[in-house]
């Protein structure tokens, strides 16, 4: 195995280690997509951070893999095996300071506008007139709103609101920082919104962000209810089903794996908005949901990242009685928005 290009300081007691190597943008995105499979079974999987060191060379990226401890030779070999040059790839392996590197990597991101929303990560970038403003600081949970997948979900949610769709029971699966749940509540302020994430840290960060943005937390109408759970495997998530709107901004692999259980929580005629997949994965993800009785209603691409809006056929899944008021939620509350 080729030695690292630079090992830097060697401190085996360091709480975290970083493996860095140059690669193409496409390869960075592929490795990020395969991270769950590559590090399956790890109690604390590493995080992958891609960057573009030189904006004049948009295809030359750098990938940093942050391990919670020093990786052994087998782990390094498994990573290198996924690279075109294999073990000949030059890389750096060095301890990193005991610092909040994720917050540092997110700091300084430009604010974005998506649909009717303005998302910023500091207090100085005021929202333009007419936009709903959210402050989502760089934090210990992934997602600040600047990623194209989040932008795509915000755009789709905005269009649903602008075209008169009404939802009363909403779930944001894999909420990250809570942003999409907050956006949904702002569009449908009398809805019950549940936001879940597999990572308890993300749930805690979502609660902090709710306080920053004046979003009410709780289990009633007009509130966001937070829960830590893998996928939809939680009594609360199942007990509140069926939902008339589900948003899931995760990754292609988990989206395909979760297709049966996600669709099972959706009311007949309900809407599903999914993102986190690449263009090359869109057909495979769409096929997985079509097999569960979903119809593709819209596909919106932001760069290499599509956002899909699907509707559930009425004949799939169960129905349960709904006690909605027609004047509150439109003609077909709980049963979709077509």
As annotated, the binding site for S-adenosyl-L-methionine includes 150, 174, 197, 249
| Residue 67: φ, ψ to 5° | -95, 145
Regarding beta strands 47-51 and 60-67, do their DSSP bridges make them parallel or antiparallel, or are they unpaired? antiparallel
CA atoms 164, 116, 33, 203: torsion sign: negative
Orientation angle between helical segments 200-213 and 179-187, nearest 10 degrees = 40
- Binding-site residue numbers are 150, 174, 197, 249
Helix (H, G, I), strand (E, B) or coil at 99: coil
Helices (H), the chain: 25-33, 35-38, 73-80, 101-106, 148-162, 179-187, 200-213, 235-240, 252-264, 282-290, 326-329
Q: Where are the beta strands (DSSP E) in 16-122?
A: 16-24, 47-51, 60-67, 92-96, 112-114, 117-120
Helix (H, G, I), strand (E, B) or coil at 86: helix
Q: What is the dihedral of CA 111, 114, 118, 120, to 10 degrees?
A: -30
Q: How far apart are CA 134 and CA 152, in angstroms?
A: 16
Helix (H, G, I), strand (E, B) or coil at 77: helix
Regarding beta strands 169-173 and 132-135, do their DSSP bridges make them parallel or antiparallel, or are they unpaired? unpaired
- Which residues fall within 8 angstroms of residue 76, CB to CB, at 6 or more apart? 1, 19, 91, 93
Q: Pull the structure tokens for residue 257.
A: 């794996």
């Amino acid at each position: 195995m080729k030695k690292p290009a630079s090992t830097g300081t060697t401190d085996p007691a360091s709480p975290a280690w970083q493996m860095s190597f140059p690669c193409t943008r496409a390869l960075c995105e592929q490795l990020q997509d395969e991270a769950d499979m590559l590090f399956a079974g790890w109690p604390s999987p590493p995080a992958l951070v891609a960057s573009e060191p030189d904006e004049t060379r948009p295809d030359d990226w750098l990938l940093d893999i942050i391990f919670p401890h020093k990786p052994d030779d087998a782990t390094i070999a498994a990573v290198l095996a996924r690279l075109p040059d294999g073990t000949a790839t030059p890389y750096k392996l060095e301890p990193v300071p005991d610092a909040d590197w994720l917050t540092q990597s997110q700091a300084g991101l430009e604010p974005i506008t998506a649909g009717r929303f303005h998302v910023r990560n500091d207090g100085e970038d005021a929202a333009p007139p007419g936009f709903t403003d959210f402050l989502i600081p760089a934090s210990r949970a992934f997602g600040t709103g600047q990623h194209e997948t989040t932008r795509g979900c915000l755009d789709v949610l905005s269009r649903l609101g602008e075209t008169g769709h009404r939802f009363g029971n909403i779930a944001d699966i894999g909420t990250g920082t809570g942003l999409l749940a907050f956006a949904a509540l702002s569009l449908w302020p009398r809805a019950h919104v549940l936001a879940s994430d597999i990572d308890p840290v993300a749930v805690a960060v979502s609660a902090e962000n709710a306080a920053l943005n004046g979003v009410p937390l709780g289990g009633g109408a007009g509130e966001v209810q937070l829960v830590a759970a893998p996928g939809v495997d939680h009594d609360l998530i199942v007990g509140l089903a069926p939902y008339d709107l589900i948003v899931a901004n995760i990754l292609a692999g988990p989206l395909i794996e979760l297709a049966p259980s996600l669709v099972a929580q959706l009311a007949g005629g309900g809407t599903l908005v999914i993102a986190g997949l690449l263009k090359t994965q869109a057909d495979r993800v769409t096929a997985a949901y079509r097999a569960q009785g979903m119809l593709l209603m819209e596909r919106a691409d932001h760069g290499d990242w599509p956002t899909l809006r699907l509707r559930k056929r009425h004949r799939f899944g169960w129905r349960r009685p709904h006690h909605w008021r027609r004047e509150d939620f439109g003609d077909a509350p709980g049963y979709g928005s077509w």
